[in-house]
Structure 1
Amino acid sequence: MNMFDSSEFDKSTIPESTAEAPAETKRPFSIDDLVALVRDREESIFECAHARAIDPLTLRSQLLLHLPRLVTADRFPREHDIQQEVQAVSDFLEEIQRPYAKWLRPPERTITLDDLEFVSLDPEIAQIYHERLHYVGSYRPGWHYAFQEKNSGRIVCIGSVADFDLKHAQEKIAPHIELRYVSVLSRFFTFRWAPKNIFSYFHGKLRLQLMKERDTRLMFSFINPNLGFNASSHKGAHWTLFARESGTRYTYLDGRYRTMRFFVENYGTSDPVKLRERLGDSFIVSTIKLHPLELFAIPLQRRGRKAIPTEPHGPHIFRRPELCASIPAKSMVDRTETVLSRPPIPILPALAAG
């Protein structure tokens, strides 16, 4: 999930960098170099987003998802490469967000927290936000909720909740809580013009709703520090770090970032060896070292507190497993069918050859 609030973009621990410096250094290239590179260009990236009528933080996050595929042991993206990537990602986002450009425009009157009402959201509407506006770019089935402005019905933010399916976390919490009382918060998205503290306010309403509807007692949410997120909104809403998950990697199909779930749903597995055998050179795995994902948890009821450790589980014992589909329905489809119904992010010629 993961937040789009600009306060989430951690700048305090990122080393200063220029376009030329990373390529000159002897140490291995790191994701922090890429985050610093994007941070240094944030103003121009946001200006580009404004000119193209696309969400600025979606553009920034998409860049940080796609740039790692261009890093090799002896090559780091240069200024020309960055500009090409900004252009390619902007073209892609402009195409998929164009029908919803009016949603991105600020309202004439400032909206406050008192103007909002908490509502359930139809899956069809949630899917638009997941696929077109959220930086991950893929739909996550579940239960969907939103804040909308009372008078106009205009959506201000959304968040989705899914059944608990983190197999590698089950053994950690099973002695303390039945899994049917556990949920995962994902795909939170808020417009730039939303009121401050919108996440905390949303979470408070969501908590009451889940307790009432589903008797939810414990909820999880992932934070990706490789995108510069520092979980400040989660921490402000009293979430606790549950674990750091090792095995973080980015996977791409025809140059476009795709989630592990995408490959499981469409090809039956997330195993990179099997995917490479099947998809050939169109399938790429990032080689740059990425920080562990951070799994946060919050008890919604007292009975969920025992499942949260006093110290977070470390990446040496908490590793994301390879997944396989339980049914082969979509795993056998031809790759030229609906899987690639949207244009891929072009691979830069200068780096594809290297």
Structure 2
Amino acid sequence: MKALRFYAPEDVRLEEVPEPECGPDEIKLKVKNCSTCGTDVKIFHNGHQNLTPPRTIGHEIAGEVVEIGADVTGDWSVGDRAQVIAAVPCGDCYECEKGWMAVCQNQTSVGYQYDGGFAEYMIVPRQVLKVDGLNKIPDNVGYDEASAAEPFACAINAQELLGIEAGDTVVVFGAGPIGCMHIRIARGVHQAGPVYLVDVNADRLKMSADAVQPDEVIDGSKVDVVERVMELTGGRGADVIITATAANITQEQAISMAARNGRISFFGGLPKTDPFIKCDSNVVHYRQLHIHGANGSAPEHNKRALEYISSGQVPVKDLITRHIPLDDVLSAFSIVKNGEAIKVTVEP
């Protein structure tokens, strides 16, 4: 079968490999869709400390069950449509026992320690099944939509931590697919008030704004973002700010524009070579700000993402603007890097 294999930074090859065999405590999928994200681009260029090469990458996966190991329990049948979690908690550590599976200290990941979904077939490992991380796709949800449930789950986790209330003013930095999902979750799930979308790429800003219709777009390359948000909020600031981009300045701007009792999500990780920001601690202190980190999800968030997609509460179909065959998978990385599409999915 064909699979995209990572050997080293910028040494990523689409090649023929043996079709994987299903063990007694595993399930084998025929991959239907594996979507892409900025993390895939970072892996392509820089690798990852948890990725053991050679490795089939790709972690936003939906497929069809084609084989079930003899020891697998649960209601699974050949032909079932399934979505796979990416971040795999151990289920046994202190954090997992507390219900904090999104921050499991022993977390492994599909596409890192286990072969991922940029392939014709893949194995769902025992550890995924142990934590109930393989989810049936609702009948009215396409494979492409289901593959978007994984990043969607990460956004759900972040917003739950923020405690968004009906009517809250929300600012989202980053007009990529995750920024679009954040806007739709804030509105569709939490009934947020005005939502403002910020980016410095005018083309990407327009493309995403056309899809998710924020109340206003703010081009950070042309205006003072903090000043504009203050104008839009009558000087009060934003209740919720989500930085869905890997830019230090957005985190600094988020603190500066936050209203009293404002909640901030540092959703996008910063470059490891420059992970620090300037923070006016007195602003945090006197405005009683709440700053949250968030980067992943728990298995339950993936289930909730599929439910929101199925119900129409948070649609994602229109955010998937490019479908690429596995034979052309390498082009997906440049499309994502250049912001030429909202969401790109690969179809083996």
Aligning the two structures, in what range does the TM-score lie when normalised by the shorter sequence?
under 0.3
Q: Which has the higher helix share?
A: 1
TM-score under structure 1 length normalisation: 0.25
